[in-house]
Chains A and B, each alone.
Chain A
């Protein structure tokens, strides 16, 4: 089955810096890759997603890139702010519509003022 690896496990940056989180997946059949942000005591919230027919997607300060050949995808956050501090999870799924999400191990991002 699918296996998703995520690095780093923790990431500390200064406010205004950029943050990059990387994930690799094993199953070439996966073609939907969402990123979730989880704040303390809350459920995961989708922040951005990408499908395998797209190499990059941006939404304001957040961008995701996908390399299908290498089976890896990355989350980029620019101009980080303290409220970006949270745990970020990448996930992979087969795009048959409603397949399960296989999550990475999570990255704890700490943005210091």
Chain B
């Protein structure tokens, strides 16, 4: 069964450093998302991406964040200057139209745990 993959599984960085989290969505999916989950809290929406541009972003997704689809398979989230409060689990998700996926089902990757020291 196709799945969303994410790398790395765990990223440790110093405050102020830039990090790039990588995702490979399910091929033939067209919509991509980033969510984050601070330890013990709910999953929060960050940004959605379609047709090479941001569709929607939350208040969390400020100027320190950016997303990119650099090629036909990868989808990345960059945090320019990390803060302590960026420590969280970051999930990538994708959804498509037709095929084997249910309409509107978002498939989540296993996540990247980001620890900012």
- Report the interface size class on chain A: 20 to 34
Nearest-CB residue, chain B, relative to A106? B42
Task: Report the bound CA distance from A43 to B6 in whole Å.
Answer: 10
Contact B95 A98 (CB under 8 A): yes
Which of A32, A44, A89, A105 has the largest count of B CB atoms less than 10 A from its CB? A44
Q: How far is the CB of A31 from chain B (nearest CB, A)?
A: 10
State the main secondary structure of chain A at its contact with B.
loop
Q: Does A63 contact B (CB under 8 A)?
A: no
- Report the interface size class on chain B: 20 to 34
Q: Does A13 contact B (CB under 8 A)?
A: no
Q: Does B7 contact A (CB under 8 A)?
A: no
Q: Does A101 contact B (CB under 8 A)?
A: yes
Contact A46 B56 (CB under 8 A): no
Q: Does A74 contact B (CB under 8 A)?
A: no
Interface readout for A23-34 with B: 1 if CB under 8 Å, 0 if not?
A: 000000000101
Contact A93 B104 (CB under 8 A): yes
B44: A residues at CB distance < 8 A = 103
B residues sitting closer than 8 Å to A (CB atoms) are 4, 30-31, 33, 35, 41-45, 48, 50, 55-56, 58, 91, 95, 97, 102-111
Name 7 extra pairs, CB < 8 A, besides A34-B106, A93-B104, A98-B30: A43-B111, A97-B97, A100-B45, A101-B35, A101-B106, A103-B42, A103-B43
